[in-house]
């Protein structure tokens, strides 16, 4: 579906990225300056790679060796920019129709009213972008890109400029849209929560290179990536269903293969599926269930393996039901508790550490 | 006393006609030039830039003289135009419009160029990802957002046309009813005994015309700026 291998050198920065993805949502993940935006700009045609090729859904957009370089306007790649980039002199309706009217009627994938409804834009149509809130702007930008009937939708940190509440609002719209419309999405972000919630495939980038790529559970669970210069803590991604919600404390109960977790601030209703990520360093291990403790989540499991690092730390993998949790503790603790494969342990997870 | 004579009306009419056509004909060219200077890079750009600004720094008489050499009946370009198209600029009002257009051109280009440079080129990129060709992007995004500069440039060029003297008198001379625009008429009146009162009247008319043009342009600039900022009306 997506096959990218490109090289580009500019000043002191060298980009050399290659990855493939068959997923609905592919996340490009990495700290700022790692080359994520250059990759999506190359896909859109706004940046020209020195070497390599870009293929989307079987259509070759760029191939340096064969001299193919489709102009931006012929690529049909939707692009949601970090800053929205709505046309200030046009109303929201005219912004939305800009690409819609340029697409061939036969190629149109979605109806105008459908997208407007999906993104909740009905009340904004006659307004001008200057008066919209950040969240509204991004929703319009997403709708505008979708209505141009793209082969692929690029989203470059679409939530970066928004506050926490707006982030959650727009994130929910993106998740809903992905379920409704079958346009593959490449989602650029340096926020773990967004990647975990949306993506199926993750491409991890650092210093212009692809450090790791694969299914979200695998890549985000790897504890060894810190060593590769990735500003990111390894952890475990769990898929869970919201089974209860306590509005008094804003706490949700999540059921997963291995037990229950309590977590705050979950942006999903009861019955919905969510993904949560537990960082390896947020998991503590005890030999017996502790009493009188603030930690809400105590899970029972058995040690799968212990890998002592070169430094003071050790990585302990614990099997809880069908789920394997990764914990990072000190080497000293691992030896003191005599953690060996097969040993029954309690896994402690602070509810506030879940995101 | 305020009633204008037929001669005065003729001078005003001619001046407005010359200024109108000079602005109208130079506007498309100025838009293209401003866009090239603001948004592209090409070999010899600084030379091109200098050439565009030449009328601003050269004595107007020099421009008029070159126009005479080039577009005069026996000039290389003038002879061609006369022979194949029957177009003659020398000693015609249309020649006055050409002179005025050239003198006002750098002012117009400058204002439009600044306005285009102030537009976030990311908006133009966004339009292209939505399927718009460069030409369509120019007309639907760049031009509407650059309108404040277009209006300012148009006013500057229009005012320059109304006031143009040196290049005009050198190229098309001072022929009443054909090339004698407002400044030329004022100059002529100051050269004859007893013409002071008439010269003053024409000067007052020049002031009124300029102020009117300024007011109209200010209004247009303000309205287009409001639009470009994207606020609800």
B129 vs A80, A150, B233, CA distance in Å?
10, 9, 29
Look at residue B2 in the predicted model and tell me its pLDDT: 65
Contact criterion met (CB < 8 Å) for B230 and A72: no
- Give the residue-averaged pLDDT of A279-307: 88
- Give the residue-averaged pLDDT of A11-33: 87
Distance from A75 to chain B by nearest Cα, in Å?
Answer: 8
Q: Which stretch of A5-14, A97-106, A338-347, B2-11 has the lowest confidence by average pLDDT? A: B2-11
Look at residue A307 in the predicted model and tell me its pLDDT: 78
- Is A91's pLDDT higher than 80? yes
Closest CA to A29 of A283, A152, A21, A176: A21
Q: Is the dihedral of CA A45, A47, A51, A55 positive or negative?
A: negative
- Is A140's pLDDT higher than 90? yes
Look at residue A314 in the predicted model and tell me its pLDDT: 82
With contact defined as beta carbons under 8 Å apart, do B81 and B88 qualify? yes
Taking the CB of residue A227, how many other CB atoms lie within 10 A of it? 9
Q: State whether residue B126 sits within 8 Å of chain A by CB.
A: yes
A56 vs A5, A43, A106, A185, CA distance in Å?
12, 9, 20, 11
B143-154 per-position pLDDT tens digit: 999 999 999 999
Structure tokens at A249: 């404390």
Closest CA to A205 of A2, A12, A58, A6: A6
With contact defined as beta carbons under 8 Å apart, do B154 and B108 qualify? yes
DSSP string across A152-213: EEEEESTTTTS-HHHHHHHHHHHHHHHHH----EEEEES-HHHHHHH-SEEEEEETTEEEEE
With contact defined as beta carbons under 8 Å apart, do A260 and A307 qualify? no
- Is A291's pLDDT higher than 90? no
Which residues sit opposite B184 in a β-bridge?
Answer: none
- Give the residue-averaged pLDDT of A40-56: 93
Mean pLDDT value across chain A: 86
Burial class of B61 by CB neighbour count within 10 A (0 to 12, 13 to 18, 19+): middle
Contact criterion met (CB < 8 Å) for B122 and A81: yes
**Model confidence band, residue A174 (pLDDT cutoffs 50, 70, 90):** confident
Contacts of B123 in chain A (CB under 8 A): 85, 87-88
CA distance A103 to A205: 33
- B126 vs A71, A81, A103: nearest CB: A81
Contacts of B136 in chain A (CB under 8 A): 102
**Which single residue is written with the structure tokens 């695998």?**
A218
Look at residue A355 in the predicted model and tell me its pLDDT: 66
Q: Which of residues 284-343 of A touch B (CB under 8 A)?
A: none
Look at residue B7 in the predicted model and tell me its pLDDT: 86
Contacts of B226 in chain A (CB under 8 A): none
pTM score of the predicted model: 0.80
**Which single residue is written with the structure tokens 């009813």?**
B177
With contact defined as beta carbons under 8 Å apart, do A266 and A274 qualify? yes
Question: Both ends of chain B: CA-CA distance in Å?
Answer: 45
Using CA coordinates, name the residue in chain B closest to A102. B131
- A72 vs B120, B128, B144: nearest CB: B128
Closest CA to A354 of A260, A247, A248: A260
Look at residue A281 in the predicted model and tell me its pLDDT: 85
CA A32-A37-A40 angle, to 5 degrees, is: 155
A190-205 per-position pLDDT tens digit: 877 788 778 888 898 8
Look at residue A108 in the predicted model and tell me its pLDDT: 83
Contact criterion met (CB < 8 Å) for A87 and B228: no
Structure tokens at A5: 């291998």
B165-212 per-position pLDDT tens digit: 999 999 999 998 899 999 999 999 999 898 888 899 999 999 999 999
Q: Which of residues 118-137 of A touch B (CB under 8 A)?
A: 127-131
Between residues A305 and B11, the one the model is more confident about: B11
Contact criterion met (CB < 8 Å) for A131 and B133: no
CA distance A109 to A143: 13
Q: State whether residue A102 sits within 8 Å of chain B by CB.
A: yes
For the CA atoms of chain B, what is the radius of gyration?
Answer: 20
CA distance A71 to A55: 14
With contact defined as beta carbons under 8 Å apart, do A76 and A109 qualify? no
A63-76 per-position pLDDT tens digit: 999 999 999 999 99
Q: Give the CB-side neighbour count of residue A70, counting CA atoms within 13 A.
A: 20
Structure tokens at A58: 């079987």
Domains of chain A plus CATH, in order, are 2-229 (3.40.50.300), 236-353 (2.40.50.100)
Q: State whether residue B123 sits within 8 Å of chain A by CB.
A: yes
CATH class of residue range B12-61+89-226: mainly alpha
Closest CA to B87 of B101, B76, B73: B73
CA distance B153 to A326: 66
Using CA coordinates, name the residue in chain A closest to B231. A130
**Model confidence band, residue A33 (pLDDT cutoffs 50, 70, 90):** confident
A109 vs A70, A150, A190, A202, CA distance in Å?
21, 8, 30, 26
User: Over its length of 233 residues, how does chain B's per-residue pLDDT go in tens digits?
Assistant: 567 888 888 999 999 999 999 999 999 999 999 999 999 999 999 999 999 999 999 999 999 999 999 998 888 888 888 888 888 888 899 999 999 999 999 999 999 999 999 999 999 999 999 999 999 999 999 999 999 999 999 999 999 999 999 999 999 999 988 999 999 999 999 998 988 888 999 999 999 999 999 999 999 999 888 888 877 65
């Amino acid at each position: 579906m997506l096959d990218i291998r490109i090289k580009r050198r500019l000043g002191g920065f060298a980009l050399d990225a290659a990855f493939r993805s068959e997923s609905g949502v592919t996340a490009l993940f990495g700290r700022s300056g790692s080359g994520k935006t250059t990759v999506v700009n190359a896909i859109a045609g706004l940046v020209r790679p020195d070497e390599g090729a870009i293929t989307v859904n079987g259509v070759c957009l760029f191939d340096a060796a064969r001299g193919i370089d489709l102009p931006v306007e012929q690529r049909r790649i939707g692009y949601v920019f970090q800053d929205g980039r709505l046309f200030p002199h046009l109303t929201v309706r005219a912004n939305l129709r800009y690409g819609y009217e340029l697409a061939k009627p036969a190629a149109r994938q979605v109806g105008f009213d459908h997208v407007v409804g999906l993104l909740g834009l009905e009340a904004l149509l006659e307004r001008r972008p200057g008066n919209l809130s950040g969240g509204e702007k991004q929703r319009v930008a997403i709708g505008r890109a979708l209505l141009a009937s793209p082969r692929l939708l690029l989203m470059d940190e679409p939530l970066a400029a928004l506050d926490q509440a707006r982030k959650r609002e727009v994130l929910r719209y993106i998740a809903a849209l992905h379920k409704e419309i079958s346009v593959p999405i490449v989602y650029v972000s340096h926020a773990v929560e967004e990647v975990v919630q949306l993506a199926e495939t993750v491409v991890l980038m650092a210093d212009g290179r692809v450090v790791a790529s694969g299914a979200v559970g695998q890549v985000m669970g790897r504890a060894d990536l810190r060593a590769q210069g990735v500003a990111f803590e390894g952890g475990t991604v769990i898929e869970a269903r919201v089974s209860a919600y306590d509005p008094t404390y804003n706490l949700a109960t999540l059921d997963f293969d291995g037990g229950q977790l309590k977590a705050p601030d979950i942006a999903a209703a009861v019955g919905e599926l969510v993904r949560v990520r537990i960082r390896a360093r947020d998991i503590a291990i005890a030999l017996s269930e502790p009493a009188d403790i603030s930690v809400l989540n105590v899970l029972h499991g058995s040690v799968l393996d212990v890998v002592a690092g070169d430094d003071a730390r050790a990585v302990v993998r614990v099997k809880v039901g069908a789920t394997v949790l990764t914990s990072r503790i000190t080497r000293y603790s691992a030896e003191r508790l005599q953690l060996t494969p097969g040993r029954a342990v309690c896994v402690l997870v602070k509810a506030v550490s879940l995101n | 006393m305020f009633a204008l004579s037929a001669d005065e009306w003729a001078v005003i009419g001619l001046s407005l006609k010359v200024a109108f056509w000079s602005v109208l004909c130079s506007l498309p060219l100025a838009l293209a030039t401003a866009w090239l200077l603001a948004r592209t890079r090409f070999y010899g750009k600084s030379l091109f830039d200098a050439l565009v600004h030449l009328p601003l720094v050269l004595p107007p008489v020099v421009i008029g003289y070159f126009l005479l050499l080039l577009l005069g009946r026996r000039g290389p370009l003038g002879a061609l135009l006369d022979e194949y198209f029957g177009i003659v600029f020398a000693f015609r009002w249309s020649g006055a419009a050409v002179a005025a257009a050239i003198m006002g051109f750098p002012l117009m280009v400058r204002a439009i160029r600044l306005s285009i440079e102030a537009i976030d080129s990311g908006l133009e990129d966004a339009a292209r990802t939505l399927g718009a060709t460069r030409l369509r992007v120019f007309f639907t995004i760049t031009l509407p957002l650059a309108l404040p500069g277009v209006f300012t440039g148009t006013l500057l060029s229009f005012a320059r046309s109304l006031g143009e003297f040196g290049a005009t008198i050198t190229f098309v001379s001072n022929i009443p009813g054909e090339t004698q625009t407002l400044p030329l008429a004022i100059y002529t009146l100051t050269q004859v005994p007893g013409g002071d009162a008439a010269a003053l009247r024409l000067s007052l008319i020049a002031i009124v015309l300029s102020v009117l043009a300024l007011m109209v342009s200010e209004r247009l600039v303000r309205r287009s700026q409001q639009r470009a900022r994207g606020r609800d009306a």
